[in-house]
């Protein structure tokens, strides 16, 4: 192109190519519907794997494929509590033994919880 043809245009902003003579890839349209009753179509390549769910264009909720199978439930791990993790590391007998040791230390006065180390310095 001559310089005159480019005068007054933004380079890169518009394409001067046309779609003439170009064969587009074969496509198929698939219909989805959300729980709010919105129905819409999405074009996919014939070779593409069609997703079972798609985000609704109108409300953003999850839309299901019409005439398709139900989406598989994702396997989730059961919630592990502190107690569950503790029981993975120790047996109940070991925990009873540790508890007895700690109670013996507390009862013997080896660990005085009533007096804080900082407080004992102030009174001295």
Establish if 115 belongs to a structural domain: no
- Reference 53, options 72, 76, 36; nearest CA is 72
Q: What is the arithmetic mean of pLDDT over 13-35?
A: 85
Provide the edge-to-edge strand list for the sheet that holds 53-55: 39-45, 27-33, 62-65, 53-55
Cα gap 42→46, rounded to integer Å: 12
CA dist 98 to 83, 89, 111, Å? 15, 13, 16
Predicted local distance difference test score (pLDDT) of residue 34: 92
Residue 41 in any domain: the answer is: yes
Residue 32 has pLDDT above 70, yes or no: yes
Q: Are 57 and 38 in contact (CB under 8 A)?
A: yes
Specify if 42 maps to a domain: yes
Does some domain include residue 70?
A: no
At 45, which CATH number? Answer: 2.20.28.270
Is the pLDDT assigned to residue 29 strictly greater than 80?
Answer: yes
Mean pLDDT of the chain, nearest integer? 82
pTM above 0.75, yes or no: no
Note whether 88 and 59 are same-domain residues: no
10 lies in some domain = no
Binding-site positions for Zn(2+): 34, 38, 56, 59
- Mean pLDDT, residues 81-104 taken together: 93
Residue that is written with structure tokens 């120790």 in the block: 90
- CA 31 and chain centroid, separation: 26
Residue showing tokens 């001295």: 124
Residues 85 and 57 in one domain: no
Confirm whether 121 is domain-assigned. Answer: no
Given a cut of 60, is residue 65 above it in pLDDT?
yes
The number of distinct structural domains making up the chain is 2
- Asked whether residue 9 carries a pLDDT value surpassing 80, the answer given is no
Residues 95-118: what's their mean pLDDT? 80
* pLDDT given at position 5: 59
Q: Residue 35 domain-assigned? A: yes
SS3 30: strand
Segment 80-102 shows an average pLDDT of 93
Binding-site members are 34, 38, 56, 59
How many residues comprise the chain?
124
Domain that holds residue 58: 25-63
Worst-scoring range by mean pLDDT, 18-22, 35-39, 100-104? Answer: 18-22
Q: Looking at the domain assignment, is residue 19 inside a domain?
A: no
Residue 73 has pLDDT above 80, yes or no: no
């Amino acid at each position: 192109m001559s310089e005159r043809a480019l005068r007054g245009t933004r380079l890169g902003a518009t394409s001067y190519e046309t779609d003439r003579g170009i064969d587009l890839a074969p496509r198929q349209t698939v219909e989805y519907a959300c729980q709010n009753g919105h129905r819409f179509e999405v074009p996919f390549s014939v070779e593409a794997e069609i997703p079972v769910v798609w985000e609704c264009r109108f409300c953003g909720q999850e839309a299901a494929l019409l005439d398709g199978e139900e989406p598989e439930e994702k396997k989730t791990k059961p919630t592990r509590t502190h107690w569950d993790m503790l029981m993975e590391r120790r047996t109940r007998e070991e925990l009873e033994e540790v508890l007895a040791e700690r109670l013996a230390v507390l009862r013997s006065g080896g660990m005085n919880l009533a007096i804080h180390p900082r407080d004992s310095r102030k009174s001295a």
